[in-house]
């Protein structure tokens, strides 16, 4: 079959990446989608069982830091688009092991950029109809002050606005906000963002960067707050809450992020930046209480039966107080906005994890890693 586009999606076996791969494979049968993933602990091909046999899907196990392999894949499939999601992303892990984050997030991104540059510049048409799309985080902007501890009505309105539509401050991250990363994770992502923009400014590579808020939804690795707590509630395990649980995050349902990536990849302006957010700020302690109520209701337990599982623990080092994204530029220029109210998204998310206990057990036990090591070798 002759495909009209050949697109590498890095980190496609991960949480957000698998949703993007699924969307592109199903929506664009005329595109060949190459899922490039190293299959570290956060990568799981079970996330893509429903598309693994599709004619336009290819899996390539590779390390994004392996220049020759990456360049070979780009040439083999005549790749004209790269959507770069592969990253180490857990702040706690970055505090313990910053070197791994620098290697994957900085050197890995640079490797992809240089490999794409060399291949695309070797073609008669050069950079024409090519695109390098780098997905980043709102954490590169640093932290915002918590100036409205009880929350006020948000200045943003969307179809997905819910009763909780609060803001906990008057300032928001925009595309013009200066970078001010505070953790090894956010520092590594900030560096990778700078490399992507530098390749446009220096070589003319057609690049785009997006910075997104916290994602939640199916297939998220259960070291992250929402799936971890759903699983702990199910098994009556403690729910460790940093500090007083007052830290505020902006939450976005993962499929809404995938829709935004699709739109920006096709219609975003080259060399531009877009912030992607849920217009949806929550204190950690409040989101935890919503998760508890939802799990208890779906498991037919007594209302708020598991509130006593909340356990306050010593705060994380350098724990940023508030992130909040202003994504009105994306709304205004490309017409995107979140589709789900948060309560609706949490309901879908909790139900998915409760219905997919086998997936959760395979991940938490590490059995999925043994399977991939036998099949592909160690990551």
Catalogue the active-site residues: 138-139, 185
The count of other CB atoms within 10 Å of the CB of residue 188 is 28
- From 186, 226, 209, select the one nearest 90 (Cα to Cα): 186
Alpha-carbon distance 139 to 189, whole Å?
8
Cα 156 to Cα 113: distance, rounded to the nearest angstrom: 36
CA of residue 154 relative to chain centroid, distance: 24
For helices 67-76 and 108-121, what crossing angle results, to 10°?
40
Output the six-digit token pair for 286.
């409040």
Task: Please give the Cα distance from 32 to 41 (Å, whole number).
Answer: 26
Q: Which two structure tokens, joined as six digits, stand for 38?
A: 């190293």
Q: Is the CA virtual torsion 237, 290, 325, 336 positive or negative?
A: positive
Contact predicate 310/288, CB 8 Å = yes
Please give the DSSP secondary-structure letter assigned to residue 2.
-
CA angle at 139 for the pair 353 and 189, rounded to the nearest 5°: 95
Q: Yes or no: say if 249 and 215 are a contact pair by the CB < 8 Å rule.
A: no
What DSSP string describes 32-71? EEEEEE---TT--GGGGTTTTT-TTEEEEE--TT-HHHHH
């Amino acid at each position: 079959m002759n495909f009209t586009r050949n697109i590498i999606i890095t980190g496609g076996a991960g949480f957000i990446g698998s949703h993007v791969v699924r969307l592109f494979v199903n929506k664009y049968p005329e595109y060949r989608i190459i899922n490039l993933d190293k299959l570290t602990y956060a990568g799981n091909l079970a996330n893509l069982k429903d598309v693994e046999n599709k004619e336009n899907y290819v899996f390539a196990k590779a390390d994004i830091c392996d220049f020759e392999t990456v360049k070979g894949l780009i040439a083999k499939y005549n790749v004209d688009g790269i959507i770069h999601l592969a990253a180490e992303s857990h702040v706690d892990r970055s505090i313990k092991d910053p070197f791994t984050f620098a290697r994957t997030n900085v050197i890995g991104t640079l490797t992809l950029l240089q490999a794409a540059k060399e291949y695309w510049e070797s073609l008669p048409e050069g950079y024409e109809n090519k695109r390098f799309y780098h997905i980043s985080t709102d954490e590169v902007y640093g932290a915002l002050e918590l100036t409205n501890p009880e929350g006020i009505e948000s200045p943003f309105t969307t179809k997905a606005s819910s009763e909780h539509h609060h803001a906990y401050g008057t300032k928001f991250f925009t595309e013009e906000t200066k970078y001010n990363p505070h953790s090894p994770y956010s520092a590594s992502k900030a560096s990778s963002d700078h490399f992507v923009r530098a390749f446009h400014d220096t070589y003319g590579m057609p690049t785009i960067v997006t910075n997104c808020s916290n994602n939640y939804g199916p297939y998220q690795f259960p070291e992250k707050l929402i799936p971890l707590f759903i699983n702990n509630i199910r098994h009556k395990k403690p729910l460790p809450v940093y500090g007083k649980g007052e830290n505020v995050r902006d939450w976005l349902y993962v499929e809404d992020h995938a829709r935004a990536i699709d739109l920006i990849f096709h219609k975003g302006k080259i060399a531009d930046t877009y912030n992607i957010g849920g217009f949806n700020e929550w204190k950690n302690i409040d989101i935890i209480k919503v998760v508890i109520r939802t799990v208890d209701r779906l498991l037919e337990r007594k209302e708020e039966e598991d509130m006593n599982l909340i356990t306050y623990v010593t705060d994380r080092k350098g724990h940023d107080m508030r992130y909040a994204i202003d994504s009105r530029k994306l709304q205004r220029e490309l017409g995107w906005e979140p589709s789900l109210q948060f309560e609706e998204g949490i309901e879908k998310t909790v139900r998915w994890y409760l219905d997919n206990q086998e997936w959760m057990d395979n991940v938490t036990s590490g059995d999925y890693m043994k399977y991939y090591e036998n099949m592909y070798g160690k990551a």
